[in-house]
Amino acid sequence: MADISLTASMRSNLLSLQNTQSLMDMTQERLATGKKVNSAIDNPSSYYTAQSLNNRADDLSALLDSMGQGIQTIKAANEGIETITSFVEQAKAVANNARDVASIYDQYAITTDEVTEPVEGTIMLDSREDLTTFDLEIAASENNKEFTVYMENGTQKTIETLATPTDAKTIAADVVTQLQGMGLNAELDEAGTKITVSTVDGTAVSWINDDADGIAYTDNQAIIVELDTTTGANSATIAGAINAASEAATKGIVADPDGKMVAITATDLEFRIFADNTPENQAALEALGGATEKGAGDATKVKQERIDYAEQFNDILEQINNVAKDSSYKGINLLQENDLTVIFNEDRSSKLEVEGVDASSDGLGLSEARGDWQKNSDIDFSISQTENAISKLRIMASEFGNNYAIVQTREDFADNIINVLTEGADNLTLADMNEESANMLALQTRQQLGVNSLSLASQASQAVLKLF
């Protein structure tokens, strides 16, 4: 274009039009993109600062998704805890229902006949968890000793140990022979000195040392109650004598005077009242009601209703285990001791460690119903376990609730920070559309004026044409 000569005014107007067009192009770009800084060429400082802010906002946005997933994982665990808590409360209710069913061990009390005159004679009381069996321990010094075994059918026999001093195994073996001769099961342990005795037909059997010459072993033997004109005077003195003997031997038998009668119980234990075959002692037993049978239940007669409740309890424990297994989210199960890490910032320096727990029946300390809940003590044990489990679950729920609140608060904070960063980047790069629109109108006007000015400048050159 150097070969073409333009007048000074035309060149000036042309340059002005070119500048105007350049400004219009820039304004059109801003109107089209909405940004006043579209590349580093426009404004390096603003461009790179905005890019840094947007990059951090993008990083936090990715973490925001992770926080949301962390919240869902905690919510899944919390739902599991609420369901498990309901099951534990249901298990406790089942146990309480079973507790209301009379136990074979405490449903029956022996009540004597009315005591209208003093009772004199010797009676014996025995109580154990199972009256059909007892243990004996024979020492080497047990030679020339004796004790008496009483069967429920009235049969009794005094067992005499070997008179000649010898070793404990030999003495014990001879005692076993005598017991077996009574029709009892008698077995020695591996050491050969401890004897386990039991009845064949499930009836009661008791033993007792008759005097100071008895064997040294005193566990699980019956107790003797001596009744005379003082201790056997009335129901109150008889009850006092029984309680004193029971307490001294820790037999768990309790006697309560009830008018002129005596009610005798042994909670959670089988028990019996009996006497030897002497006429005086049989008369004393007869005066007290002739109670020769086991009084507080029979281990062979279980309560089916309690068994049913125990099975329901065990079924609930299985459901608790199933819920604990099913409370996972995306492979993480906080109720099976899986831990969760929630990251809060882009350099991973801020995070929350959520520790998993064991919410299974074992982890909560819940065990299956013992002994089919035939004993009140076994039901009370299960009730205590459920109460402890509920306390543990409440602590777990509180911890997860706290973690949930922390993650949710950080999620809200991250969301707000993202908005701040994005707004800051926009302030550096976004164009004011109103201003750019006004600029475009001004530039269009300037362009039109420039064109008119260029036209006027060219008229001087056009005047030359008139010469031809």
Query: What is d(CA 147, CA 224) in angstroms, rounded to the nearest whole number?
Result: 13
299 has pLDDT over 50: no
According to the model, what pLDDT value does residue 266 have?
Answer: 80
Confidence check: pLDDT of 414 > 90: no
Tell me whether strands 223-227 and 254-258 are parallel, antiparallel or unpaired: unpaired
Contact 425, 57 (CB under 8 A): yes
Single out the residue of 432, 426, 449 nearest to residue 27, CA to CA.
432
- Does residue 131 contact residue 206 with C-beta atoms inside 8 Å? yes
Q: What are phi and psi of 205, to 5 degrees?
A: -145, 140
Produce one character per residue of 201-239: b if its CB has 16 or more CB atoms within 10 Å, e if not: eeebbbbbbeeeebbebeebbbbbbebeeebbbbbebbb
**Which range, of 9-18, 93-102, 217-226, averages the lowest pLDDT?**
9-18
In a 3-state reduction of DSSP, which class is residue 409?
helix
Q: How confident is the model at residue 417 (pLDDT cuts 50, 70, 90)?
A: confident
Lowest-confidence segment of 162-171, 231-240, 277-286, 438-447 by average pLDDT: 438-447
Domain range list for the chain: 61-100+303-420, 110-287
- pLDDT level of residue 377 (50, 70, 90 thresholds): confident
Q: Residues 365-386: what's their mean pLDDT?
A: 89
CB-CB contact of 297 with 103 (8 Å): yes
The residue with greater pLDDT, 265 or 306, is: 306
161 alpha-carbon distance from chain centroid? 55
**Average pLDDT of the chain, as a whole number:** 82
CB atoms within 10 A of CB 324: 26
> Whole-angstrom Cα distance, residue 196 to residue 50?
89
Tell me which H or E stretch contains 377. Answer: helix 376-429
Residue 300 scores a pLDDT above 60? no
Query: Among residues 198, 247, 199, 255, which one has the least CA distance to residue 223?
Result: 247
- For 39, other C-beta atoms within 10 Å of its C-beta total 9
Q: What is the pLDDT of residues 59-73, one digit of tens each?
A: 777 778 888 888 999
More confident call, 89 vs 114: 89
Looking at residue 297, its pLDDT comes to 47
Per-residue confidence band for 164, with pLDDT thresholds at 50, 70 and 90: confident
Confidence of residue 108 (pLDDT cuts 50, 70, 90): very low
pLDDT of residue 224: 93
Residue 360 has pLDDT above 90, yes or no: yes
Q: For residue 231, give every residue at least 6 positions away whose Cβ sits within 8 Å of its Cβ, in sequence order, or none.
A: 225, 237, 238, 240, 241
Q: What is the mean pLDDT of residues 84-108?
A: 84
What 3-state class would DSSP assign to 72?
helix
Instruction: Give the mean pLDDT of 414-441.
Output: 70
pLDDT tens track for 314-341: 999 999 999 999 999 988 999 999 999 8
The pLDDT assigned to 169 comes to 92
Quick one: fold of 61-100+303-420?
f41 fragment of flagellin, N-terminal domain (1.20.1330)
Q: How confident is the model at residue 430 (pLDDT cuts 50, 70, 90)?
A: low
119-134 per-position pLDDT tens digit: 999 999 998 888 889 9
CB 246 within 8 A of CB 222: no
243 has pLDDT over 90 = yes
Quickly state the pLDDT bin for 260 (edges 50, 70, 90).
Answer: confident
**Is residue 421 packed enough to be buried (19+ CB in 10 Å), middle (13-18) or exposed (0-12)?**
buried
Between 214 and 39, the higher pLDDT residue: 214
By mean pLDDT, which of 26-35, 93-102, 252-261 is the weakest?
A: 26-35
CB atoms within 10 A of CB 305: 14
Q: Which long-range contacts (CB under 8 A, 24 or more apart) does 429-436 make?
A: 429/35, 429/36, 429/37, 429/38, 429/46, 429/47, 429/50, 430/34, 430/35, 430/36, 431/30, 431/31, 431/33, 431/34, 431/35, 431/36, 432/36, 433/31, 433/34, 436/27, 436/30, 436/31, 436/36
The confidence score (pLDDT) of residue 65 equals: 82
Residues in Cβ contact with 31 at an 8 Å cutoff, skipping those fewer than 6 apart: 431, 433, 436, 437, 440
Q: Which residue has the higher pLDDT, 324 or 437?
A: 324
- pLDDT value, residue 446: 67
Show the tokens assigned to 211: 């005097």
Give the best-scoring range by mean pLDDT among 51-55, 140-144, 257-261.
Answer: 140-144
Q: Is the pLDDT of residue 19 over 80?
A: no
Percent residues over pLDDT 70 in the chain: 76
Query: What digits encode the pLDDT tens for the residues 127-161?
Result: 888 888 999 998 888 888 899 999 988 899 999 98
CA 427 to chain centre: 54
Check if the beta carbon of residue 450 is closer than 8 Å to that of residue 13. yes
Q: What is the rounded distance in angstroms from the CA atom of residue 235 to the CA atom of residue 58?
A: 90
- Of 143, 1, 31, residue with least CA distance to 439: 31
pLDDT on residue 278: 92
DSSP 8-class letter at 465: G
Q: Is it the case that residue 391 has pLDDT exceeding 80? A: yes
Higher pLDDT pick, 249 / 31: 249
The pLDDT of 226-231, averaged and rounded, is: 94
One-letter identity of residue 189:
D
Stretch 300-317: mean pLDDT, rounded? 87
Q: Give the whole-angstrom CA distance, residue 256 versus residue 111.
A: 10
The enclosing H or E element of 124 equals: strand 121-128
- Is the pLDDT at 188 greater than 90? The verdict is yes
Provide the b/e sequence for 260-271 (b: ≥16 CB within 10 Å): ebbebbbbbbbb
What is the rounded distance in angstroms from the CA atom of residue 107 to the CA atom of residue 99? 12
